[in-house]
Structure 1
Amino acid sequence: MSLGDRSIIPEILRKYQTELLNDWLSEQLKAGIGNNYFKETELREECRDFLDLCNKAVQSGNLTNIRASEWNDVREMLASFSRTSSQKGVTSTETASFVFSLKPPLFNRLHQEIPQDSATLTQEICLGTTLLDKLGLWTIESYQKAREAVILRQQEELIELSTPVVKLWEGILALPVIGTLDSGRTQVMMESLLQQIVETGSDVAIIDITGVPTVDTLTAQNLLKTVTAARLMGADCIISGIRPQIAQTIVYLGVDLADIVTKATLADAFALAVKRAGFTINRSQAQI
């Protein structure tokens, strides 16, 4: 028989659930946990749900393995709480303290129930500490996963926003690139450009790298991949924004851009694109 089977913690959770809820909520409000993010009624509801689920889980006698099936509902509840906390801007410390702050109320009840047997009391406190620590660590893990998911989604949105494809003229597209051009961003950029080529039926695409701070071998290869993909879709590409230092770097790296038209500025590239598209731009005489 394990210590969990002999523990009185399940009995305490069942017998004193209301008292534990009130004491636990007082602990959190006193410590300021979630005060700026949760209303007291919301926090009380979260505490009540946690105690209800814990009470059901511990009745199995398993107080050591929170990965077991009887703890599924508790883990899901804590994961949901962590996601909500992350979205509200609650820190990871405050989120974990939601679980850890249950220790004083629980241990006070253990002292009341086992006033004379110090050895048993010590075992129960150790068991309760281990259980709540595991649940607290699970809460932190869930919080970190939620934050990482938010950061990843924001990064993807920023990449999409930082690679806009602009229609400059009938049959002419421009793709201004700003920042470092890595493999992931190249893929997004390529997909956006090819999609716009298909939707607009454009014949010329200008890739402007004025906002690219440096060009290395990887950046050059990614540019070549984009140009090749655009050509396969029937559009010619012009690379603009080739500054002197970038031109020197490309020559030094031995990157072959001989079959790709390059221009120093976006204006020069646009003028060439207009000419290739068969348009003529004339300056109208100013009327006085």
Structure 2
Amino acid sequence: MAALHQNTLSALTRSEAQLSESWWQALEASGSTRTLKAEDVRQQISEFLQLLMSVLARGASQNITAAEWADTRLFLEKLSHQRALAGQDSQQTAHFIFALKGPLFATLQTEYAEQPALLAEQLWEISQLLDLLAMHTIRTFQKSREAVIKRQQEELLELSTPVVKLWDGVLALPMIGTLDSQRTQMVMESLLQRIVDTGSQIAIIDITGVPTVDTLVAQHLLKTVTAIRLMGADCIISGVRPQIAQTIVHLGLDLQGVVTKANLADALGLALRRLGLTVTQSVV
């Protein structure tokens, strides 16, 4: 990749203000500024142009992985992360760079109006450079977006597995949705910690909201029950519907002496009796 001509750098420096304004207009016309504050985008435009001009003025190579491009890469990584948090997609984020092509090309056409061969060469060089910067932006955006999605999934898992104190010494964990290894691990950690914090003697796992029970789900439940018992507490599984009971029998699954109940009310009644408590209806 050839270096940019000195006349190219001089033309870009002289036209920086016009480049900035034309770039902003291109971004706004494309809809890439939606959900973003105008002053923030204008500040990013100004900062990026200064970084770009500074690197090119020092005669840096167009290998954007080189050390001299570190500040520019960091800027684009921060921008990508901010755009991901703002709910923009990869196309809108990458267009931050691509929208600069039009203003840059117009500037170079004016500069090399009488030198078509040199114009073609410089357009190719600047186009390749902007493409590389845009691809770096897309890659970092995807990583940021994946991190956001992963965090949201973890937060949803936490919200979908609340540990509820039903009575002194009795905890309940209502399960909703499909059980997998990651969720089981989170459930186990949350429930065991609550057992330690509250000193509870009985934990009720309610699977009314679990759509199906197969061999894998049963194994996850057994692991959780075993861990609860190792903590010195007992476990009751409630919400075993007729369809689930039939499935367990059909699969030949062995719940290894785990106490099960049809609903949470029956499980709570059993837990209270094990604690030596009796609930009676008062007469008014």
Normalising by structure 1, report the TM-score.
0.93
Quick one: which of 228, 242, 253 aligns to 2:251? Answer: 253
List runs of 5+ in structure 2 lacking aligned partners.
none
| SS in structure 2 of the partner of residue 64 of structure 1 | coil
Deviation at 1:253, TM superposition (A): 2.1
1:13 to 2:12 alignment: yes
Q: What is the CA-CA distance between 1:48 and the residue it aligns to?
A: 0.4
- The residue number in structure 2 matching 1:82 is 80
1:27 counterpart residue number: 26
Asked if structure 2 preserves the Cα contact closer than 8 Å seen for 1:63 and 1:127, the reply is no
Deviates more, 1:22-31 or 1:143-152: 22-31
User: Could you tell me which residue of structure 2 aligns to residue 123 of structure 1?
Assistant: 121
Aligned length: 284
For 1:1-288, what aligned pairs fall within 5 Å after superposition? 3-4=2-3, 6=5, 8-34=7-33, 36-285=34-283, 287=284
Normalised TM-score (structure 2): 0.94
Residues 261-284 of structure 1: CA deviation (Å, up to 9, x unaligned): 111111111111000011111121
Cα distance in 1 for partners of 2:252, 2:147 equals 40
* CA contact 1:13–1:51 (8 Å) conserved in 2: no
CA contact (8 A) 2:203 2:236 kept: yes
Contact map agreement 1:164 1:176 (CA 8 A) in 2: yes
Q: How far apart, in 1, do the equivalents of 2:235 and 2:206 lie?
A: 10
Separation in structure 1 between the aligned mates of residue 61 and residue 116 of structure 2, nearest angstrom: 20
**3-state DSSP of counterpart to 2:145:** helix
Residue 214 of structure 1 contacts residue 246 of structure 1 at CA under 8 Å; is this kept in 2?
yes
Question: What are the Cα deviations for residues 103-147 of structure 1, in whole angstroms up to 9, with x where unaligned?
Answer: 111111111221222222111111111111111122222222222
Give the gaps of 5 or more residues in structure 1.
none
Deviation at 1:81, TM superposition (A): 1.5
Structure 1 CA distance for aligned equivalents of residues 11 and 61 of structure 2: 13
* Superposed CA RMSD: 1.7
Q: Counterpart of 2:3 in 1: which secondary structure?
A: helix
- How big is the shift at 1:226? 0.3
Deviation at 1:31, TM superposition (A): 3.2
Report the Cα distance in structure 1 between the residues aligned to 2:202 and 2:2, rounded to whole angstroms: 75
Q: Contact 1:7 / 1:124 at 8 angstroms: preserved in 2?
A: no
Specify the SS of the correspondent of 1:195.
Answer: helix
Amino acid at match of 1:160: E
Among all aligned residue pairs of Structure 1 and Structure 2, give the percentage whose two residues are the same amino acid: 52
